[in-house]
Amino acid sequence: MSVTLKDIAERAGVSISTVSRVINNDKAKPASKKTADKVWKIVDELGYIPNQNARNLIKGVGVDLEKRKTKTIGCIYTSTRDSLSDPFFPILVWESRNSWKKRDIHWDSSCQSMRKASRIWRSIF
């Protein structure tokens, strides 16, 4: 699983918002140089890579909604014996993908175990 802001914050002994402010170079409420150096050191050690989709969703809060659209839809479905053997399921996934593609919207899907799907869902929301 990828490194999160929470992982960095716990290791640095600071809040998640402090880590976010350091990484995003927040001029309105900057962290101290000592804190920023500590956060950047941990970022490098852990190999943190920002999730561009997550950044696109939050960038421009307070800005016109049209300017924030990512044109991306994500679908996480669980892999169970029943769902994968059901002849309707692959058709549903395929037709959903094609429907969004016609509208120039990127469709990204992932098949995961129920446990992993739950972790992904919690990390997004």
Q: Match domain 5-50 to its CATH number in 3.90.1150.10, 1.10.260.40, 1.10.10.370, 3.40.190.10.
A: 1.10.260.40
Domain boundaries, the chain: 5-50, 65-124
Task: State pLDDT tens for residues 24-77.
Answer: 888 888 999 999 999 999 999 998 887 766 665 555 555 555 555 667 777 777
Residue partners of 35: CB distance under 8 A and separation at least 6: 12, 14, 18, 22
Between 66 and 112, whose confidence is greater?
112
pLDDT at residue 98 in the model: 86
pLDDT score recorded for residue 71: 76
- Would you place residue 101 in the very low, low, confident or very high pLDDT band (cuts 50, 70, 90)? confident
Mean pLDDT for the stretch of residues 92-110 = 81
Higher pLDDT, 1 or 19: 19
> Which pairs with CB-CB distance under 8 Å and at least 24 residues apart come from 81-86?
84/111
- Its pTM stands at 0.48
Q: What is the pLDDT of residues 7-25, one digit of tens each?
A: 999 999 999 999 999 988 8
- Pairwise CA distance, residues 1 & 6, whole Å: 13
Question: Is the distance from CB of 56 to CB of 70 less than 8 angstroms?
Answer: yes
Query: What 3-state class would DSSP assign to 88?
Result: helix
